[in-house]
Amino acid sequence: MRPDNLVQLNWTGDHRFDAGRPGGPQVRIDASAQTGPSPVDALLIGLGSCTSVDVLDILAKRRTPVESFGIEVQAERREQAPRRVLKVHLIYRINGAGIERVHAERAVELAVTKYCSVRDSLDPAIPVTWQVILNGE
């Protein structure tokens, strides 16, 4: 197999790993979440960052200037092992004077349902919902 993507994880003790592309920047993954994101946190970060890049690209194609942008990724997990993710809710905070709500909502919808490869790689049985807070409202 010739992988399209390759990352390596190197154990640094306890339940910690330094991870990233060979020769590229590294992130600390820590199952206890004391020195870095946990593996599930990393999954949620991947989903949030993937959809965010797509939202920003879609708004840029509309020539809609974004002044600030943030996302909160909430997940509900099983109580018993394996503590898999059961559902995810994304809260996008988008600010920009010329952004219309309909365009922000559509950009998020397209990012989550069509363009984000991380979302598309997750189990389709995991519901992913979202909301948009535009200019603080």
Q: Where are the domains of the chain?
A: 1-37, 39-134
pTM: 0.94
Q: CA-to-CA distance for 100 and 98, rounded, in angstroms?
A: 6
Residue-wise pLDDT tens digits, 105-136: 999 999 999 999 999 999 999 999 999 999 99
| Contact in structure between 101 and 132 (CB atoms under 8 Å) | yes
Computed over every residue of the chain, the mean pLDDT equals 96
What 8-state DSSP symbol labels residue 84?
Answer: -
Three-state DSSP state, 55: helix
Topology (CATH level 3) of domain 39-134: GMP Synthetase; Chain A, domain 3 (3.30.300)
